[in-house]
Each structure stands twice: as C-alpha cells, then as structure tokens.
Amino acid sequence: MTRPVDPTLALALQPYLRGWAPSPDKGPVDECGVFGIYGHPEAARVVYHALIALQHRGQESAGIVAADGGNLNTHRGMGLVSDVFEKPETIARLTGDIAIGHVRYSTTGSSRPGNAQPVVVNTRRGGLALAHNGNLVDAPLIRRRLEDEGAIFTTAIDTEVLAHLIVRSRAENLEDAIVDAVSQVSGGYALLILAEDRLIGIRDPHGIRPLQLGRLNGSWVLASETCAFDTIGAEFVREVAPGEMVTISEGGKLRSRAVAKAAVAPRPCIFEFIYFARPDSQFVGLNVHTVRKAMGRELAREAPADADIVIGVPDSSISAATGYAEESGIPYEVGLVKNRYIARTFILPSQAGRESALKLKLNPLRKVIEGK
C-alpha cells in the first residue's frame, strides 16, 4: 500500500508529479532579485528597502534606476545593497515616481561592475531599464547572431541580449516590441522593464522564476518574493501568471496581456522552496517555511535515522530540520553557530570561494555534538 504524501508537500510538488521531469543540466545556478514600483514619490527609497529584503537572492552587485519624466536616474555598484547605497545622497539623487532595482548573483557573465543591473539603453522609443532574474538558454546563440549583424555588447549578461532584441524589433509600440523580443528566447525568467512613463513585468511561460504583484497604498509593486512586500508594508495581490505581461501606466492603470502561451503544466523552480526563497515568502500559493517543514517530515518517514539529535544547517535547512525532528521524535538542537557577517555561500561565484567562506561561516557547538 502506498503511503500518502504530506498534503502541503503534495501541493508544492504537484507540478513535478504530473509526469514532467526537469531536463538534465549543470545544477541550480540561478538566483537574482528584482523589485519595481509605480506611482510613489520616493520610489527609489522604497526600492532600496525592498532590495535589502531580497539581499539573500544576490550579494555581488546591486542597482536602482528611477524614471523622472524623460530622465532615467541610475546608480549601480558591486557589493551589498547597504554598501552600494551607503551615502544618503545617492538615493536622494534617484528622483522619480517609478523605479526598479536588482540584486545580482552571477549566472552568466563574470562578477564585475559592468555586469551589474539594471541595464539601461537608449532607444527610438525612449530610455529603457531592464532588471532580469533568470537564464536564457539560447542567449549565446542569439548574441552571436546579433554580433554578426553588427550589434555591439558592453556586458556579458543575458539581459543585454533582451535589450538588443527589444531595440531591434520593428513593432510599432514598446509593448509589442517586448512581446516580439521574448518570443525569440527560451528559458526561465522574471523580467522588469522601466520606461519613462510605465513599469512592465513579465514571467516566462513555464513559471520557472517567481514574480509577485502587490499594492502599497496607491502604488503598484512587483517583486521576486513576497517578503519584500512585508518589509515595505505592501499588500500581496497575486502572482504574475506564467507567460503574462503586466503593464502599469497612465496614473496607475494596470493592464494584463499574454506574451506567450502558458505551459500546460507550469514548472516552478523547486529550488525556490529548497534554498533560494526566504522562509517567510510565499511561492505558488504556499508559505516556504511550511513546505520546507513538510519536506523534513517526509524525509523522516522515508529515511528514519538512529540518531540522538537533529541539527539544521543555518539557515535554509532549519525549517526542514524542525519538521524531521517533530516527525521522528528526535530532539532538535542548535549544533552549528553561524557567523552572521558571512553572506550566503552557495551563491558565491566559485567553488573555491564557497569552500573558503563555509569555513568562516559555520562553527560546530562541541558541547552539543560531542558523544552524539
């Protein structure tokens, strides 16, 4: 007789229990954070606070672009959000009531200042800024084709490929040009585009990368995770659907449009639940902490252990470890102390860097684990 799976876990794994299996690749390599706001007098300041809430999604670089009439005011730099925007006057110079921001973990392109986002381009339709979380699997081929046609690239990131496709589109208006561009790429992405008078958010047809829609009083907000909404006091409205483009313009009017046919079975990234997302965020309608805890309970049923204590490796596995402890009856203990001044290690750009940082990050509590 087949034992039923935990109901919460069954909901989280539903997309993966429909006969779909992820294509083999080199492993999970993608994590960035995006945030955008429309219609707020201090848009850049709100984005700054939201990016701090999303800092766990990328710690190599950060950037904010704000639209003030016909001007796109930009600041980008290497390091944490608090370092890049250390001087109060930096935020003060980013005037405008529409803004987008980005925190980066390098997935394509090296970790250098020129690859920091958002990417800003000037087009015949006006200035555009793009902030992108995801991987375009065919970006190298498209990039080579565009270079053969005379395109000049100044970065090594997928986002600039999208920018070139938008600029080169013969569509009559910006939104049609964006639809034309994304129809030419494949992969998982959540994309924010800031024009001089509007904010646009797009999610890939498979729903691989997350994108959330919310309200902050009279303003609209878009974010990689709902924890950013909690930080700024915004209200979660809904997830942007797979293959959907939302456009906010004309005094806060929101319009929705399908940019691609959504996959029959959405494929949200399971690593959001396992590692990427903060435990207080919501993804595909489920709280991340609750799902991780359910995973721990399921693991205790499938792989019972003859152990004295259960220890979670801080911070991502703590929820799962508590679920394992509760289900197994084995007491949970704090057995590893985390150095809070060492950033996330999995998303560092090199294996050597991850191993070195790990030694500095975690230290065992000998009194807890000795003799266990």
**What residues act catalytically?**
32
Q: What are the CB-based long-range contacts (under 8 Å, 24+) for 161-167? A: 161/136, 161/185, 162/130, 162/132, 162/136, 162/191, 163/119, 163/121, 163/128, 163/130, 166/123, 166/128, 166/193, 167/121, 167/123
12: Cβ contacts below 8 Å, ≥ 6 apart: 270, 273, 284, 286, 291, 294
Contact 199, 38 (CB under 8 A): yes
Helices assigned H by DSSP within the chain: 7-13, 43-53, 81-84, 88-92, 139-148, 158-168, 174-182, 227-232, 270-271, 288-302, 318-328, 351-361, 366-369
Give the separation between CA 250 and CA 18, rounded to whole angstroms. Answer: 41
Find tokens 């704000």 and name the residue.
66
Distance of CA 195 to the CA centre of its chain: 21
Tokens at 189, concatenated: 């992405």
Name 26's Cβ contacts closer than 8 Å, sequence gap at least 6: none
- Cβ burial 130-156 (10 Å sphere, 16+ → b, else e): bbbbbbbeebeebbeebeeeebeeebe
Note whether 117 and 104 are within 8 A (CB): yes
Dihedrals phi, psi of 154, to nearest 5 degrees: -110, -5
Beta bridge partners of 303: none
Task: Assign 284 to helix, strand or coil.
Answer: coil
Specify whether the CB–CB gap between 216 and 46 falls below 8 A.
yes
CB contact set of 84 (below 8 Å; sequence gap of 6+): 61, 62, 63, 75, 76, 77, 78, 90
Q: Which amino acid is at 122?
A: N
